[in-house]
Amino acid sequence: MRLILLGPPGAGKGTQAARLVEKYRIAHLSTGDMLRAAIAAETPIGLKAKDIMASGALVPDEVVVGIIADRIEQGDCANGFILDGFPRTVPQAEALDALLKQKKLKLDAVVQLLVNEAILLQRVENRIAQMKERGEAIRADDNVDALAKRLEVYRGQTEPLVHYYGDRRMLATVDGMKSIDEVTAEIGRILAAAAAPAPAKPKKPAKPKAKPAEPRPAKKASPAAKKAKKTAKRPKSVKSAKKAGKPAPKAAKAGGKGLKKAAKKTAKKTVKTRAKGRKRLTKRR
Report the catalytic residues: 13, 88, 127, 139, 150
For every residue of 21-86, DSSP letters joined together read HHHHT-EEEEHHHHHHHHHHTT-HHHHHHHHHHHHT-PPPHHHHHHHHHHHTTSGGGTT-EEEES-
Residue 106 is given by DSSP the state: -
Which candidate, 13, 158, 159, places its Cα nearest to that of 88?
A: 158
**How many angstroms separate the Cα of 42 from the Cα of each of 34, 36, 38, 136?**
12, 10, 6, 22
How many CA within 13 A on the CB side of residue 79? 10
Smallest distance, ligand AMP to C-beta of residue 111, A: 15
Q: Which stretch binds ligand AMP (CB under 6 A): 56-64, 130-138, 190-198, 277-285?
A: 56-64
On whether the CB atoms of residues 224 and 267 are closer than 8 A, the answer is: yes
Closest to ligand AMP by CB, 31 vs 266, is 31
On whether the CB atoms of residues 248 and 238 are closer than 8 A, the answer is: yes
Residue from 4, 5, 31, 174 touching ligand AMP (CB under 6 A): that is: 31
Q: Which stretch binds ligand AMP (CB under 6 A): 50-58, 98-106, 218-226, 264-272?
A: 50-58
Count of residues in contact with ligand AMP, rule CB under 6 A: 17
Closest to ligand AMP by CB, 112 vs 266, is 112
Q: Which stretch binds ligand AMP (CB under 6 A): 37-45, 81-89, 127-135, 194-202?
A: 81-89
Query: What is the rounded distance in angstroms from the CA atom of residue 261 to the CA atom of residue 61?
Result: 72
Smallest distance, ligand AMP to C-beta of residue 151, A: 10
Residue from 150, 151, 164, 228 touching ligand AMP (CB under 6 A): that is: 150
Query: Is 176 near ligand AMP (CB under 6 A)?
Result: no
Closest to ligand AMP by CB, 117 vs 224, is 117
How many CA within 13 A on the CB side of residue 75? 0
Query: Is 9 near ligand AMP (CB under 6 A)?
Result: yes
Smallest distance, ligand AMP to C-beta of residue 94, A: 13
Q: 113: helix, coil or strand? A: strand
Residue nearest to ligand AMP (CB): 32
Query: Is 64 near ligand AMP (CB under 6 A)?
Result: yes
142 Cβ contact list (under 8 Å, min separation 6) = 124, 127, 128, 131
Which candidate, 115, 55, 62, places its Cα nearest to that of 89?
A: 62
Query: Is 158 near ligand AMP (CB under 6 A)?
Result: no
Closest to ligand AMP by CB, 64 vs 232, is 64
Residues lying near ligand AMP in the complex (CB under 6 A) are found at: 9, 31-32, 35, 52-53, 56-59, 64, 85-86, 88, 92, 141, 150
